[in-house]
């Protein structure tokens, strides 16, 4: 059971001063519960199509490099690992789905785009840009490490690349150095974003306040947060093995689970605003096709 951590006062200052959100200490069992609830959310409202839409542009960049004749083999692992850096931002629509389901609303996958109406969207974009810059820096550093060790000569094939990396001293150096540097990038991303985006969505926090809260969460729960980082890394590796196909399940489950992790580690708002009643769905007619494929286009109609 999560217990209240030492932070007794929630203060909202007017003139741009910091806001302090009470946080809790959690255990490893809370991580398992968050994953279980994330899996339940995914089964109730399959959101893999949304995640695939986020994955395909990245894979498209990889294919673009292949068409231009560049070797992409050295970047495959950094790309897979890099999803841990940008995942918290890419999953903001999933947080919205979990938030709505938590309130007992009827939820469809397309409701994820309603996160674009969030009052804190600007703050989420600010932190998202920071994570994208971090992702770009990681890819650049990973490529520089490979070039420094192996030079610019591309691998002839996947077996040739695997032989270079797994059976040579240079390959072992690449693994050790690459994993060490990647670990540092992952720690930075985890510390600044583990609960930042759900907090901004739920409490309309600023990016700075959300980052501060995430840092406090990590400082208060080092073992649990280290465990969460290992869980995320392991699931991303498993999901990436069959040519990234498994990420269509892993990423949405992790996204939904992150919302429930936030719920367990940050004290709820003692005075939540009243949620507006969901709009009536109404009837749809054949004459509405193809507009009825896009349910948000009918909002506001009576």
Residue 10 domain-assigned (yes or no): no
Residue 9 domain-assigned (yes or no): no
Domain hosting residue 220, numbered range: 23-267+289-298
Residue 6 domain-assigned (yes or no): no
Q: Let me know: does 195 contact 262? Beta carbons within 8 Å.
A: yes
Q: How many domains in the chain? A: 1
Residue 16 domain-assigned (yes or no): no
pLDDT at 54: 56
Residue 18 domain-assigned (yes or no): no
Q: Let me know: does 43 contact 257? Beta carbons within 8 Å.
A: no
Residue 136 domain-assigned (yes or no): yes
CA 224 to CA 35: how far, in whole Å? 13
pLDDT at 49: 58
Task: Calculate the CA 19 to chain-centre distance.
Answer: 24
pLDDT at 5: 40
CA 154 to CA 164: how far, in whole Å? 11
Task: Tell me the CA end-to-end span of the chain in Å, nearest whole number.
Answer: 46
Residue 63 domain-assigned (yes or no): yes
Residue 281 domain-assigned (yes or no): no
pLDDT in single tens digits along all 302 residues of the chain = 454 443 433 444 333 456 789 999 999 999 999 999 999 998 887 765 555 555 555 555 554 454 444 566 777 778 777 778 888 888 888 899 999 999 888 877 777 788 888 899 999 999 999 999 999 899 889 989 988 988 877 666 677 777 888 888 888 998 899 989 999 999 999 999 999 999 999 999 999 999 999 999 999 999 999 999 999 988 888 877 766 677 778 888 998 999 999 999 998 877 665 554 444 444 544 444 444 444 444 444 44
């Amino acid at each position: 059971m999560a217990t209240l951590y030492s932070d007794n006062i929630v203060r909202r200052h007017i003139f741009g001063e910091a806001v302090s959100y009470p946080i809790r200490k959690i255990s490893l069992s809370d991580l398992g519960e968050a994953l279980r609830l994330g899996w339940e959310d995914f089964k109730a409202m399959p959101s893999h199509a949304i995640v695939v839409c986020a994955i395909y542009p990245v894979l498209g960049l990889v294919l673009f490099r292949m068409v231009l004749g560049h070797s992409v083999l050295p970047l495959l692992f950094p790309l897979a690992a890099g999803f841990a850096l940008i995942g918290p931002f890419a999953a903001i629509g999933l947080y919205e789905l979990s938030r709505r389901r938590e309130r007992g609303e009827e939820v469809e996958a397309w409701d994820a785009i309603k996160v674009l109406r969030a009052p804190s969207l600007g703050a989420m974009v600010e932190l998202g840009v920071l994570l994208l810059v971090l992702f770009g820096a990681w890819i650049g550093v990973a490529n520089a490490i490979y070039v420094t060790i192996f030079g610019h000569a591309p691998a002839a094939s996947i077996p040739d690349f695997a032989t270079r990396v797994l059976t040579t001293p240079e390959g072992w150096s690449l693994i050790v150095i690459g994993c060490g540097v990647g670990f540092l990038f992952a720690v930075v991303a985890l510390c600044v974003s583990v609960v930042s985006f759900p907090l901004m969505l739920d409490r309309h926090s600023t990016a700075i306040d959300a980052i501060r809260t995430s840092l406090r969460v990590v400082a208060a729960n080092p073992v649990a947060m280290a465990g969460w980082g290992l869980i995320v890394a392991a699931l991303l590796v498993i999901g990436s093995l069959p040519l990234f196909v498994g990420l269509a399940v892993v990423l949405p489950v992790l996204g939904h689970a992150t919302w429930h992790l936030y719920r367990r580690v940050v004290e709820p708002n003692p005075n939540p605003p009243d949620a507006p009643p969901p709009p009536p769905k109404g009837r749809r007619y054949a004459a509405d096709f193809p507009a009825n494929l896009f349910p948000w286009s009918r909002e506001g109609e009576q």
